[in-house]
Amino acid sequence: MGFWNAFLKMDTGIVGLDIGSRSIKAVEASHKGGRFIVARHGTAPLPPDAIVDGEIMDREVVIECIQDLLRESGIRSRHVASAVSGRSVIVKRITLDSMTTEQASEVIYWEAEQHITYGIDEVSLDFQILGEAGQGKMDVLLVAAKKETVDMHTSLLRDAGLVPVIVDVDSLAVQNAFEANYETDKSEKVLLLNVGASVTNVSLLTGGAPLFTRDLSVAGNAFADEIQRVLSVDRDEAERIARSPREEDRERIGPILDTVGQDLLLGVERSLSYLRGVSGSAEISRALLSGGGALLPGLHGYVANRLGVPVEIADPFRSLDFDEALFREGEREEVAPSLMVAVGLALR
């Protein structure tokens, strides 16, 4: 899926570039003999106000950060797959009369008009047929992003010296990384929670195909905000405590994890009950946590407890080929969950 596909020769590899509000992540992958090989990866932090709510506030800082990141991680390919996010992106599950992909690509424009709050001329549209919905209908995942947002995004990448080949959406990149790495039963429903700094992407898949996706505004920042407020510490200290595995810190933030975790799970449960409404059942068999927030000590246990199903921390390199030297000792566990989106993009 992508809004903007250019002619691309796949011999140099493609860079999945995940421009988050907290950090930029890059993963370079190439395609050999039907398999993906991950060649390089890297992460670079962004200053707090460079990106707010998915919107780029400080262009120069972001461009410089991307360039430094690619140079320091030794990434040579200039072809990038990246994603837009925030309020200008809409991902929605809709129902159409059954038809071919070709026919759908003609009517989607008219159908989308009823589901999108922006003027239809202002958005880039894409869609994916999910499957039969019975009674001559089919389910379709509609993806729309404001053209202005996509244009600003691609022009920033070009100014950074890059060639944008695909512009995707975070939640769909998460799904892509999942599909490339995990096997699922046809009937089982898997919940994906990608907990970033400002956004948590919630997706539900069945038989590997997306059923539903929604973004929640409770993520890593909400935990740090609450720690800062309740313990009266500064931001850096709050971030440190949030990540600290030390017993005394864990005890101090136990109640905070409960409060914010509750908010997060409320959003997840709302999504599941919405789905119960549209598809009759939302019994999930397991959940996968990714994003930097997946590493918040205690979150994994909290989510598992609340959902009552097995919860795993995602490893987007699980089924991919890579050189042993790709990760320093212990580095894979440390960075893999937060590279979920970047991997999903690099595999497009």
Query: Where do contacts with Mg ion occur on this chain (CB under 5 A)?
Result: 20, 196
| Helical packing angle, 235-243 and 220-231, nearest 10° | 110
Residue 221 near ligand ATP by CB under 6 A: yes
Residue 20 or 164: which CB sits closer to Mg ion?
A: 20
User: Least CB distance from residue 47 to Mg ion, whole Å?
Assistant: 16
Residue 65 or 112: which CB sits closer to Mg ion?
A: 65
Residue 22's binding partner among Mg ion, ligand ATP, none (Cβ under 5 to 8 angstroms by kind) is: ligand ATP
The one segment of 97-105, 203-211, 287-295, 309-317 that binds ligand ATP by CB under 6 A? 287-295
Residue 242 near ligand ATP by CB under 6 A: yes
Contact 310, 289 (CB under 8 A): no
Q: How far lies 152's CA from each of 44, 92, 241, 254, in Å?
A: 21, 23, 36, 41
Q: Which residues pair with 137 in a beta bridge?
A: 97, 134
284 SS3 class: coil
Residue among 269, 332, 342, 278 at smallest CA distance from 83: 342
Residue 219 near ligand ATP by CB under 6 A: yes
Residue 2's binding partner among Mg ion, ligand ATP, none (Cβ under 5 to 8 angstroms by kind) is: none
Residue 218 near ligand ATP by CB under 6 A: no
State residue 343 phi and psi, 5-degree precision.
-65, -45
Q: What tokens does 179 get?
A: 């599909």
The single residue listed with the structure tokens 């996509």 is: 150
Return d(Cα 85, Cα 169) in angstroms, integer. Answer: 6
Q: Which residues pair with 164 in a beta bridge?
A: 80
Residue 342 near ligand ATP by CB under 6 A: no
User: Least CB distance from residue 24 to ligand ATP, whole Å?
Assistant: 8
Binding-residue pattern over the window 4 to 43 for ligand ATP, x denoting contact by CB under 6 A: ----------------xxxx--------------------
Q: Which residues bind ligand ATP (CB under 6 A)?
A: 20-23, 196-199, 219-221, 239, 242-243, 291-293, 295-296, 338
